[in-house]
């Protein structure tokens, strides 16, 4: 289902910062960033990268938590929430908090942020594509083929980046994040562009 596997760098500092994003372990990423900043302490790009790493990952535990994934999932589970007069403010507050966790709201735009979004999207979509539970329905009894799985992922992207934000007139704030995730989807999945166009028709 995936178009191709990603390569790896022989030396993390010879292909910086592309090799930084190929490293999956947040703790190793933090080590690499510290070393890179020791070598180039005036690098504004790496300083922003470090701030984004601290924003995205909770490294206080042995297995660091990805706050971007958590925020995405928290938005996703709002799909069936009833929005009424008495809970609208609370639901909007929750959404705004999750959009802030994704650095969509109240965060300076930068190339490093786009790269962080791309990295998150890449890793999350790979998990979806490779997860047997995600690629099945009916308590795992029915396995979805590649096209149906791709359309299911496309629907989730649309839900999180447009449909739910639009309930609170926040879709324009999410547009660049949405465009970034869609771009990753189309490039990562084999026939991704075709599947996305089929979904939006």
**Using one digit for the tens of pLDDT, what is the confidence trace for 120-148?**
999 999 999 988 878 766 444 455 688 99
Structural domain span for residue 136: 63-200
Contacts of 43 (CB under 8 A, 6+ apart): 36, 37
Q: Which two tokens stand for residue 122?
A: 């890449």
Look at residue 163 and tell me if it is in a domain. Answer: yes
Q: Which two tokens stand for residue 183?
A: 């771009």
Look at residue 8 and tell me if it is in a domain. Answer: no
Residue 9 pLDDT exceeds 60:
no
Look at residue 55 and tell me if it is in a domain. Answer: no
Look at residue 120 and tell me if it is in a domain. Answer: yes
> What is the domain count for the chain?
1
Residue 62 pLDDT exceeds 70:
yes
How confident is the model over 75-82, as a mean pLDDT? 88
Q: Per residue in 145-197, pLDDT tens? A: 889 999 999 999 999 999 999 999 999 999 999 999 999 999 999 999 999 99
Look at residue 40 and tell me if it is in a domain. Answer: no
Look at residue 50 and tell me if it is in a domain. Answer: no
Look at residue 42 and tell me if it is in a domain. Answer: no
Look at residue 6 and tell me if it is in a domain. Answer: no
């Amino acid at each position: 289902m995936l178009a191709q596997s990603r390569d790896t760098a022989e030396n993390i500092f010879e292909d910086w910062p592309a090799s930084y994003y190929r490293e999956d372990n947040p703790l190793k990423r933090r080590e690499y960033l510290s070393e890179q900043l020791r070598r180039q302490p005036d690098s504004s790009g790496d300083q922003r990268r470090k701030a984004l790493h601290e924003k995205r990952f909770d490294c206080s535990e042995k297995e660091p938590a990805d706050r971007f994934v958590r925020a995405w999932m928290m938005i996703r589970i709002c799909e069936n929430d009833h929005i009424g007069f008495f809970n609208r403010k609370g639901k909007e507050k929750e959404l705004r908090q999750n959009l802030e966790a994704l650095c969509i709201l109240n965060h300076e735009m930068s190339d490093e942020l786009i790269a962080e979004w791309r990295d998150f999207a890449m890793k999350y979509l790979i998990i979806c594509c490779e997860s047997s539970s995600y690629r099945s329905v009916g308590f795992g009894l029915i396995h979805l083929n590649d096209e149906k799985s791709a359309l299911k992922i496309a629907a989730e992207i649309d839900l999180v980046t447009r449909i739910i934000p639009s309930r609170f007139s926040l879709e324009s704030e999410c547009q660049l994040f949405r465009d970034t995730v869609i771009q990753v989807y189309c490039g990562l999945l084999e026939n991704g562009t075709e599947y996305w166009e089929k979904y939006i028709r």
